[in-house]
């Protein structure tokens, strides 16, 4: 009886939207559950935004003062409270877990606890947050001198790479390039650098461009990308479609990405290429 009453009341309010009414007739309680979940997630994101803004205030001045400067406590406390409120609003929110873990691990916030931060970071990584997976992978690689944690680090880095996290792509590319704890694979390294540079990662763009200048053979996965790229791209307009695989032009494109991201090394590589091109033209 309650079910029929509920459906009748809702159908009156949503009679102008028959598709929604039809869906409610099949899954009325699921609709309310999803609406409640959306509301909780929205509230959590509002808290996260407030906490992140407070943390940005700290990051703007933290390099110019002591880490335990009392003037940093109010914004740090504000950030911590908002991230905790976000978790209360939506306990499944991985972003809140990740940022709260950073507060415990990196900042001198009142009530900070390294163990709590580590637990939150692992939870966020296991729940699929790419930022948490990347940071956990990095911490496992560099902070455990006496523990063989390379395989665990590699596991979380690969998880972040699956979600195309640029930092993880760059780091995994470096791992493949050097053969550190995995079999050396230049092709896989190039693919990682290529995808990371597409997302604006300056270090990956520099590494990719430098490798292109050495004349490395591009894997098929990358050559297909260049072949399918729109003919109106900058390289095609300048030199024609055949120039797509010109290593110097491809490297120049990567260094431009790095320079756009603010990398001084990117600017220097561009200058070096221009000087070399002028030298070849004058000879």
Read off the pLDDT of residues 154-198 as tens digits, 9 standing for 90 and up. 889 999 999 999 999 999 999 899 987 788 999 999 999 999 999
For 54-93, b where at least 16 C-beta lie within 10 A, e where not — what string?
Answer: bbeebeeebeeeeeeeeebeebbebbbebbbbbbebbeeb
Of 41, 42, 3, nearest in space to 25 by CA: 3
Bigger pLDDT: 38 vs 234:
38
Reported as a pLDDT band with limits 50, 70 and 90, residue 253 is very high
Place of tokens 């990398």: 263
Reported as a pLDDT band with limits 50, 70 and 90, residue 226 is confident
Bigger pLDDT: 6 vs 274:
274
CB atoms < 10 A from the CB of 27, how many? 11
pLDDT at 217 over 70: yes
Average pLDDT over residues 150-154: 81
CB atoms < 10 A from the CB of 229, how many? 13
Domain architecture of the chain: domains with CATH? 26-127 (no CATH), 132-163 (no CATH), 165-283 (1.25.40)
Of 91, 118, 88, 90, nearest in space to 102 by CA: 118
Place of tokens 């000087």: 275
3-state percent breakdown (helix, strand, coil) of the chain, nearest 5: 80, 0, 20
The contacts of residue 104 (CB under 8 Å, 6+ apart) are 112, 113, 114, 116, 117, 118, 120
What gap in Å lies between CA 275 and CA 8, rounded to an integer? Answer: 77
Residue 48 near residue 86 (C-beta atoms within 8 A)? yes
pLDDT of residue 149: 67
pLDDT of residue 233: 53
Bigger pLDDT: 233 vs 121:
121
pLDDT of residue 168: 95
DSSP state of 218: P
For the ranges 23-27, 53-57, 200-204, the lowest mean pLDDT is seen at 23-27
Q: Reduce the DSSP state of residue 182 to 3 states and report it.
A: coil
pLDDT at 251 over 80: yes
pTM of the entire predicted model: 0.74
What gap in Å lies between CA 208 and CA 21, rounded to an integer? Answer: 54
pLDDT at 30 over 70: no
Average pLDDT over residues 119-132: 95
CA 34 to chain centre: 27
pLDDT of residue 40: 77
């Amino acid at each position: 009886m309650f079910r029929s009453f509920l459906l009748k009341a809702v159908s009156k309010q949503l009679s102008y939207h028959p598709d929604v009414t039809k869906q409610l007739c099949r899954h009325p309680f699921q609709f309310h559950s999803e609406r409640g979940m959306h509301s909780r997630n929205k509230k959590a994101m509002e808290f996260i935004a407030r906490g992140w803004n407070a943390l940005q205030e700290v990051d703007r001045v933290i390099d110019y003062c002591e880490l335990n400067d009392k003037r940093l406590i109010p914004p740090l406390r504000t950030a911590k409270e908002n991230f905790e409120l976000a978790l209360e609003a939506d306990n499944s929110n991985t972003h809140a877990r990740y940022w709260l873990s950073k507060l415990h691990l990196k900042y001198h916030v009142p009530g900070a606890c390294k163990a709590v931060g580590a637990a939150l970071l692992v939870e966020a990584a296991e729940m699929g947050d790419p930022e948490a997976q990347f940071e956990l992978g990095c911490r496992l690689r560099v902070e455990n001198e006496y523990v063989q944690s390379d395989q665990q680090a590699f596991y979380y880095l690969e998880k972040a790479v699956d979600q195309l996290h640029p930092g993880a792509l760059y780091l995994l590319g470096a791992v493949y390039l050097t053969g550190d704890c995995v079999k050396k694979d230049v092709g896989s390294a190039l693919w990682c650098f290529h995808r990371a540079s597409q997302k604006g990662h300056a270090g990956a763009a520099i590494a990719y461009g430098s490798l292109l200048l050495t004349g490395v053979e591009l894997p098929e996965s990358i050559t297909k990308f260049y072949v399918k790229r729109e003919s109106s791209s900058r390289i095609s307009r300048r030199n024609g479609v055949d120039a797509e695989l010109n290593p110097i032009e491809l490297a120049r494109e990567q260094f431009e990405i790095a320079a756009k991201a603010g990398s001084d090394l990117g600017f220097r590589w561009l200058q070096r290429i221009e000087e070399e091109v002028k030298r070849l033209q004058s000879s």
